[in-house]
Amino acid sequence: MWIDRKPSQYTALALLASLLLQGPAFAADNATPAQPKPSASPHERSSVNREAAAALLRERQTLVREAMVANEDMLMAIVSLEHQDKDAAYKALSDASGKLDVVLARDPHMKLVPISARLTTEDLESGPKAVKESLSQAKKQLSDGHVQVAKSLLRPLTSEIRTSIEYLPMDSYPAAIKQASQDIQAGHLNEAAALLADTLRAIVTKETIYPLPPLKAEADVQEAEALIKADPKKNQAQATDLLNQAGQQLEVGKLLGYGDYKDITKEIASVQQKLHGGSADTGLFARLKSLLHEARTKL
């Protein structure tokens, strides 16, 4: 039984927020998180950690905004130089330099700051049987020398979230802007424009692909576990269908070349067998969830 499960908008947005706010630009090696007192209860420790994380998140959001505006100021400076407007270009760069100084003052160890992000989702709705058929057809077309036809058959075989994030390199960007400002003051407008153009090319772009099949399989397993916890006898059939769905998702992921999930597939079969035997142990899904979590962290 194939259950069509598209990734939720929340999943995509949560992933993008995680990338923007927890990526390399925000390595917290130099941060000192608030430490609860040794006598604090688990609930109190959790509350302290949440408050500390919220404060850190607000600070990071401010730094990102400052860097984004600084980059826009630099673009305005280039436009002003094209129109030979020396004063406007100098003011824009001064504003940009000031904003980047603020960013570095708050975190002098920061190397990269995200300034833009794009997220796209391609969700394949086909099951394993349909994927195998498309692959077989593509192989036949390739063997017959019909490369373009094979490409058209392979192109839809994608199930992933793809992110592209641009970062300002803080080890070179501020210095280049200050040098361009000095060139403008000296009347060397062409040199300033060339330097700013080169600086734009120094922006770092990082593209990352997150396969959807293991993420969707994990969601199916979580839902199956919730059903079993609610009413093992009543929900056994539905939970079994969800576990079958999870297994098919992993098979699709393997067919698409995203990975090999043999251990997870075996554990799904083990959980299903125990369910059919009437087991409703609270730890029934523990190892399966652990394997899926491990697979997700490797993405």
Tell me if 162 is assigned to some domain: no
Cα–Cα distances (Å) from 250 to 159, 229, 260, 264, 265, in that order, read 12, 24, 8, 8, 7
Handedness of CA 118, 124, 128, 131 (dihedral sign): negative
Same domain, 33 and 176: yes
User: In the prediction, which pLDDT does 30 show?
Assistant: 36
- 160-169 vs 204-211, strand pairing mode: antiparallel
pTM over 0.75: no
130 and 53 within one domain: no
The pLDDT tens digits of the residues spanning 42-94 come to 443 444 445 444 544 454 566 677 788 888 888 899 999 999 999 999 999 99
Residues 194-228 as b/e (b if ≥16 CB within 10 A, e otherwise) read ebbeebeeeeeebeeebbbbbbbbbbbbebbbebb
Length of the chain: 299
Same-domain check for residues 144 and 278: no
pLDDT for position 232:
85
> How many structural domains does the chain have?
3
- Asked if residue 259 belongs to a domain, the reply is yes
- If one compares 37 and 115, the residue with the highest pLDDT of the two is 115
Q: Which domain holds residue 39?
A: 9-113+171-202
> Residues 79, 175: one domain?
yes
175 and 103 in a single domain? The answer is: yes
Closest CA to 167 of 116, 106, 97, 107: 116
On whether both 101 and 196 belong to a single domain, the answer is: yes
Q: Any idea what DSSP says for residue 280?
A: -
**Is the domain of 149 the same as that of 246?**
no
For residue 89, is it within any domain? yes
Amino acid 273 reads Q
CA dist 248 and 184 (Å) reads 62
- Whether 220 and 196 map to the same domain: the answer is no
Confidence tier at 181 by pLDDT (50, 70, 90): very high
Q: Say yes or no: 189 and 262 in one domain.
A: no
**Is residue 3 within 8 Å of residue 224, measured between CB atoms?**
no
Q: What percent of the chain shows pLDDT beyond 70? A: 78
Residue-level pLDDT at 61: 60
Residue 160, domain member (yes or no) = no
Flag whether 26 is in a domain: yes
- Residue 50: its pLDDT value, please? 53
Using the predicted structure, report yes or no on whether residue 111 has a pLDDT greater than 90.
no
One domain, residues 49 and 189 = yes
**Is 45 a member of any domain?**
yes
pLDDT confidence bin for 13, thresholds 50/70/90: very low
Residue 137 lies in a domain: yes
The answer to whether residue 161 sits within a structural domain is: no
Same domain? 193 vs 89 = yes
CATH number at 194 reads 1.20.120
Which pLDDT score, from 0 to 100, does residue 60 have? 54
Residues 143, 91 share a domain? no
Is 80 exceeded by the pLDDT of residue 32? no
Which stretch of 132-136, 226-230, 279-283 has the lowest confidence by average pLDDT?
A: 279-283
